[in-house]
Each structure stands twice: as structure tokens, then as C-alpha cells.
């Protein structure tokens, strides 16, 4: 009798610990939230994802951590800001070995794990493959970005082969990346591209043309990249081609979701649709995602379908959430502890369980990179924002920029001179965040040192 009871308790405990839900993350490169119907776009570009959002929770104020891919990928997989995980500057840099990834912890929780991508910054060289049973990057066998449609059959085969085991599937979607599917037929060709140049003195060089071509080498760098003196103006042809590419991406994602439903997985799977970063389409004189931390770059979609919370279908959250929040969220879904990882994000499950739960007041993003437009010119960019205000700091400028996002969502009216009180508060928070989050070398906030990058060793006092 005692033995039977012991066995019963053991089985019950094992069942309670076993993960109940699969997890799928669909990460769309260059996805700016304001071109999705669910986020208020007037054109019918994303009907598939808009429909999925009605069966999910939508986060209205989701923010990327940086302006480029690898830094944002690393933030999702580690739950740390770029300064902490070390993949901060725009350069080939491997994730330090001592950083534990979400995939590693999901695997420890009993999940089968797989990642599919076709982009440069998801190559195994950068260390993001840790913890994945299957890590497929098709760029390693070709020179071009791989369309989602070509990856989808293998992804579905892998999902179908898991049997009763829970799975974690991550898919990086490159279909929306420059040059915006030039082979697509565009029904409407607007007038020629153009931006407000105001003599060119206050704008950055266009980083890509509408056809994806690089700018002429004779185009000189602006002394203050991204700082417009005239009204921002999107490029009509570029926007049309971006939307056409986004529409194709939307149709492929909708098809993938329908295949999950056909396999009976929709009610057993958490599905997250998001973007690693956004895309500039002429705003502030910028195109692509080479520089600038304005809203077209940082405001990304974040939509989550969670079968465990059917009462929240269609709910919209206005809280300020960040990409680093996805790591603790995924581990909470898997029932996997993560206290030792010192994650800087906050689990979104807290908001699912209690929509009125206390939440962050400030969110941050940072990017650092060299530029091919001028020798020895470095872009070092940082922002801090609240739900209303956003402060920009750029190393190459001698002043802050301040925008009221509620009244000025396109960030056209710089209020730094008119609201010094807000500048003072937010600049303090920006510096405070930097000091708290960035050790002298990449590492955890407590000072625990991961493997140092080549040529950068952590020294102890007195060395």
C-alpha cells in the first residue's frame, strides 16, 4: 500500500512538472509595428496576422533593444540588454560562452528545440545555436536570404515528428528584409522617391535605395546623421515595396498558423509573433536599419496566443514591454526556474495573471557601430522612454533630443529646449541604467564574468 502511494505521488509530481504547452516564436526581421492593421495601419497589408491577433494578446508598446539583428537576437535568447550580453557593437562577435540561453533551459525542461533561419546574423558562428537540438541556417549553404516559404515544409515536418514531447520552435523570418521582395508585382507605383533634404546639411545619407542598391560613394556623410531640419517624409515607392513584402510575409505566416491548426496544435501551443527590430522608410532622412533609434526602428509588433488564458483573447496591453521580457516569459511557460540567470527582463506572465500588476516605468535601447560613410566615424546611440516621453542621446551630437510620443508619435517636434525638467529626469535614468547594466566587460549585472572576448580580459584590482 505504501509503495503504491509512493509511486502514485511520484507520477503525480512528474506530471505536474512536465511542460504542458509547446512554444513557437515567429521573429520577423525589420517589422515595424505601425504597418500592421492590428496596430492601426489603414492599408490592408497584414490580414492574416491581424486575424491571429484577435485570438491572442497584443502588446501596444513593445520595444526592441537595438537597431540591428544580432544584438536583438542575443537579447531574446539571453534576457539581457546588449551591454550585458556583450553583443553590443556592430561587429562579428560571438555570444560569451558563460551566458546561458533560453534554448538550453528549455531543453533542460524536457523540450525538443529547433531554430530555423536564413540570415547572416543567425549563423552558428555567433553562438546563438546553444541548446538547440536542430539549428538550421540556410545562409551557410547559399549567398541569399531564404524565404520563409522554403523553410516552412521542414519546420512542419519537425513539429509533426515530436510525438507527445513538447517542443520549442524559433523561426527567424527574413522575407521583409531589404530589398523588400523586388520581384513582387506592385499594383500602384507612386511618384519617385524623395526625402526632405533641406540642403543635405542635417540628414544622414540614404543607406539603401528603393531597389536595394547602396548609395553612391560620392554621397557625403552628414555631420549629424539622422537629424532633420525639415519635416520627415517617407519615400512613397519604398513604402509601397515594403508593404508588398510585408503582405507576402503575412500570407506565409498565416499559412503556417493554419498548418499548426490542421495538426491539432493550436490549442496546445503558445505562439509569439514579434519583430527583432523595425525599419526606417525615410523618416528623419533614414532608410533601412543601419542607424537611428526612432520609433520606426524600435516599435515592433508583439502578439501572443496562449491557450491557457482564453479569457484574454483580443486584450491589448499598453504597458511598456521590451524584447528582454521574452526570455523569462518563455521559461515561465516551460515551468523552468531562472533565478540564477539574473535576467533583466520581466515575465509577461505576470500581466497575463494580473493585468494590473506593477510594471516598469522606463525602457531602454542602445546601438553602436562603425559606418562606411566616413573613416573612423562611430555611431553610439542610446534612448530611454516612458509611455509618454522619449529621450535620444547620440555620441556625435552635443545635445539631447526629446519627444512627446503621445502628441508626436513620428518624433518630429524636438522639445528638449522647452522641457529641461523632463530632459534632466530621463538623462539621469539613462546614465543610471548604463552604470547598473554594463560591467567593465560583458558579464552579468552582479559582476560574474562570462568568457571574455578575444583581447579583452577582465582584471582584478591591483593587476
C-alpha cell at 82: 546588449
Closest CA to 249 of 273, 285, 216, 214: 273
CA separation, residue 245 to residues 112, 152, 171 (Å): 32, 17, 18
Q: Which helix (H) or strand (E) holds 25?
A: strand 22-28
Please state, in angstroms and rounded to a whole number, the distance separating the CA atoms of residues 319 and 55.
Answer: 19
Residue with cell 506592385: 186
Closest CA to 386 of 347, 429, 356: 429
DSSP letter at 97 equals T
**What does DSSP say about strands 167-173 and 112-117: parallel, antiparallel, or unpaired?**
parallel
Q: What is the mean pLDDT of each run of 10 residues along the chain (463 residues)?
A: 41 47 96 97 96 97 91 91 77 75 94 89 78 83 70 93 93 84 52 38 35 38 37 67 91 96 96 95 80 92 96 96 97 94 93 92 86 58 96 87 96 96 97 78 59 36 32
DSSP, collapsed to helix, strand or coil, labels residue 110 as coil
Sheet holding 401-404, edge to edge: 363-370, 378-385, 389-394, 401-404
Do 61 and 84 form a contact (C-beta atoms < 8 A)? no
Crossing angle of helices 69-78 and 326-334, in 10° steps, is 40
- Cis omega (within 30 of 0) on the bond before 179? yes
Closest CA to 203 of 279, 281, 286, 280: 286
First to last CA, the chain: 65
Give me the residues paired with residue 305 across strands: 271
Return the sign of the alpha-carbon dihedral for residues 307, 308, 310, 316: negative
| Per-residue pLDDT, 285 | 78
364 burial level (CB within 10 Å; 0-12, 13-18, 19+):
buried
| Per-residue pLDDT, 376 | 55
**What does DSSP say about strands 269-275 and 22-28: parallel, antiparallel, or unpaired?**
parallel
| Per-residue pLDDT, 444 | 67
Give me the residues paired with residue 280 across strands: 288
| Per-residue pLDDT, 120 | 75
429 burial level (CB within 10 Å; 0-12, 13-18, 19+):
middle
Backbone angles phi, psi at 392, to 5 degrees: -105, 135
CB 432: neighbour CB atoms within 10 A? 12
Do 90 and 291 form a contact (C-beta atoms < 8 A)? no
C-alpha cell at 312: 484574454
| Per-residue pLDDT, 210 | 32
| Per-residue pLDDT, 234 | 59
Sequence ranges of the domains in the chain? 20-360
CATH superfamily, region 20-360: Alkaline Phosphatase, subunit A (3.40.720.10)
Amino acid at each position: 500500500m505504501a509503495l503504491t502511494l509512493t509511486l502514485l505521488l511520484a507520477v503525480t509530481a512528474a506530471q505536474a512538472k512536465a511542460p504542458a504547452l509547446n512554444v513557437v516564436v515567429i521573429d520577423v526581421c525589420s517589422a515595424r509595428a505601425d504597418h500592421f492593421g492590428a496596430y492601426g495601419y489603414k492599408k490592408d497589408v497584414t490580414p492574416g496576422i491581424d486575424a491571429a491577433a484577435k485570438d491572442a494578446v497584443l502588446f501596444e508598446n513593445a520595444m526592441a533593444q537595438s537597431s540591428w539583428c544580432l544584438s536583438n537576437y542575443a537579447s531574446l535568447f539571453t534576457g539581457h540588454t546588449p551591454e550585458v550580453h556583450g553583443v553590443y557593437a556592430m561587429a562579428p562577435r560571438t555570444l560569451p560562452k558563460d551566458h546561458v540561453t533560453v534554448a538550453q533551459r528549455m531543453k533542460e525542461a524536457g523540450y525538443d528545440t529547433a531554430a530555423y533561419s536564413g540570415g547572416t546574423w543567425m549563423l552558428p558562428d555567433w553562438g546563438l545555436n546553444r541548446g538547440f537540438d536542430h539549428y538550421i541556417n540556410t545562409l551557410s549553404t547559399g549567398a541569399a536570404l531564404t524565404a520563409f516559404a522554403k523553410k516552412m515544409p521542414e519546420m512542419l515536418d519537425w513539429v509533426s515528428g515530436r510525438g507527445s514531447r513538447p517542443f520549442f520552435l524559433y523561426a527567424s523570418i527574413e522575407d521583409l528584409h531589404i530589398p523588400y521582395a523586388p520581384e513582387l508585382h506592385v499594383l500602384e507605383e507612386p511618384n519617385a522617391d524623395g526625402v526632405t533634404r533641406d540642403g543635405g546639411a542635417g540628414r544622414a545619407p540614404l543607406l539603401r535605395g528603393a531597389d536595394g542598391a547602396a548609395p553612391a560613394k560620392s554621397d557625403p556623410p552628414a555631420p549629424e546623421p539622422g537629424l532633420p531640419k525639415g519635416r520627415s517624409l517617407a519615400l512613397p515607392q519604398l513604402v509601397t515595396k515594403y508593404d508588398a513584402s510585408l503582405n507576402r510575409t503575412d500570407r506565409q505566416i498565416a499559412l503556417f498558423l493554419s498548418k499548426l491548426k490542421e495538426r491539432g496544435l493550436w490549442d496546445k501551443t503558445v505562439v509569439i509573433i514579434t519583430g527583432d527590430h523595425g525599419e526606417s522608410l525615410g523618416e528623419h532622412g533614414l532608410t533601412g536599419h543601419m542607424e537611428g533609434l526612432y520609433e520606426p526602428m524600435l516599435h515592433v509588433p508583439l502578439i501572443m496566443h496562449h491557450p491557457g488564458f482564453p479569457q484574454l483573447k483580443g486584450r491589448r496591453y499598453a504597458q511598456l514591454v521590451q524584447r528582454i521580457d521574452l526570455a523569462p516569459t518563455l521559461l515561465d511557460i516551460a515551468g523552468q526556474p531562472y533565478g540564477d540567470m539574473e535576467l533583466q527582463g520581466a515575465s509577461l506572465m505576470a500581466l497575463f495573471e494580473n493585468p494590473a500588476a506593477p510594471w516598469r516605468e522606463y525602457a531602454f535601447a542602445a546601438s553602436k557601430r562603425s559606418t562606411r560613410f566616413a573613416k573612423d566615424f562611430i555611431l553610439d546611440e542610446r534612448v530611454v522612454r516612458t509611455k509618454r516621453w522619449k529621450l535620444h542621446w547620440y555620441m556625435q551630437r552635443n545635445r539631447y533630443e526629446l519627444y512627446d510620443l503621445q502628441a508626436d508619435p513620428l518624433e518630429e517636434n524636438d522639445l528638449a529646449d522647452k522641457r529641461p525638467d523632463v530632459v534632466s529626469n530621463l538623462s539621469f535614468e539613462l546614465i543610471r541604467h548604463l552604470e547598473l547594466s554594463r560591467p567593465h566587460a560583458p558579464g552579468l549585472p552582479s559582476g560574474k564574468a562570462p568568457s571574455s572576448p578575444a583581447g579583452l580580459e577582465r582584471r582584478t584590482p591591483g593587476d
